[in-house]
Amino acid sequence: MPRVHRERHRTQHIGWLRAAVLGANDGIVSTASLIVGVAAANATHTGVLVAGIAGLVAGAMSMAAGEYVSVSSQSDTEHADIARERTELATNVDSERKELTAIYVKRGLDPALANQVAEQLMTKDALAVHVRDELGISETISTRPVQAAMTSALTFAVGAALPLLIVVIAPATRLIPLVIATSLFLLALLGALAAYVGGARVLVGMVRVTCWGALAMALTAGIGALFGTTV
């Protein structure tokens, strides 16, 4: 029996990669921006640290809740579509076979062959083939709310902990530039890693993530400095 060549595709990483990148990116950007803003307002070192820790906890919970609600909504839609497809197969299987045949014809098969393929696939598992080929839902990209929530919360906390570490070890006089420089460096690494795993251009990924992070920190630093001089 010939050995089967197994391929690994990047779509297998879509679910957890999206949540992980989003979580870590938000953890670094939001916490670093919060730290820079509070520090620019001339807060005490303890005040900056407390604000950063509060931002970590609140942000991680917010990310988890947001991802869970968002992905759950998508999952509910998928299950509703699958339930509807199951009903249609039970009540009008001939129409569903014709619909599947038409899909294969659009993909390039001869009508007779398309009909034969549709019949054979539906004989094995009619619902599975319609879910995959008609609805576009496959096992590798199906939604997993709990996984997305946990991944987002964990990666946010890890990302947020890095600027906080700088607050702990950096002298107060150099806190802002060190947090900014370290955070931008980490964002560049994160962008490069995400681009590499996702098969995109590394430089584009680095620039995209770093620019938005720099803008966020610049805005919060400006707001912090403004309030620090007026309050």
SS3 letters across the chain = CCCCCCCCCHHHHHHHHHHHHHHHHHHHHHHHHHHHHHHHCCCCHHHHHHHHHHHHHHHHHHHHHHHHHHHHHHHHHHHHHHHHHHHHHHHCHHHHHHHHHHHHHHCCCCHHHHHHHHHHHHHHHHHHHHHHHCCCCCCCCCCCHHHHHHHHHHHHHHHHHHHHHHHHHCCHHHHHHHHHHHHHHHHHHHHHHHHHHHCCCHHHHHHHHHHHHHHHHHHHHHHHHHHHHHC
pLDDT band at 93 (very low <50, low <70, confident <90, very high): confident
pLDDT at 37 over 90: yes
pLDDT of residue 4 exceeding 50: no
pLDDT-derived band at 11 (thresholds 50, 70, 90) equals very low
Question: What pLDDT digit, counting tens, does each position of 171-189 carry?
Answer: 888 999 999 999 999 999 8
pLDDT tens, residue by residue, 206-215: 888 899 999 9
Residue 38 has pLDDT above 60, yes or no: yes
Rounded mean pLDDT, 20-40: 89
At 5 the pLDDT is 45
Check residue 17 and give its pLDDT.
64
What's the confidence (pLDDT) of residue 19?
63
Q: What is the mean pLDDT of residues 94-120?
A: 84
d(CA 50, CA 43): 11
Q: Contact 176/221 with Cβ under 8 angstroms?
A: yes
Q: What confidence tier does 161 reach under pLDDT thresholds 50, 70, 90?
A: very high
Checking if the pLDDT of 133 tops 90, the result is no
Mean pLDDT of 209-226: 90
Is 90 exceeded by the pLDDT of residue 58? yes
Arithmetic mean of pLDDT, 114-138: 79
Kindly state the percentage of the chain with pLDDT values over 90: 30
Q: Nearest Cα to 183, choosing from 16, 2, 36?
A: 36
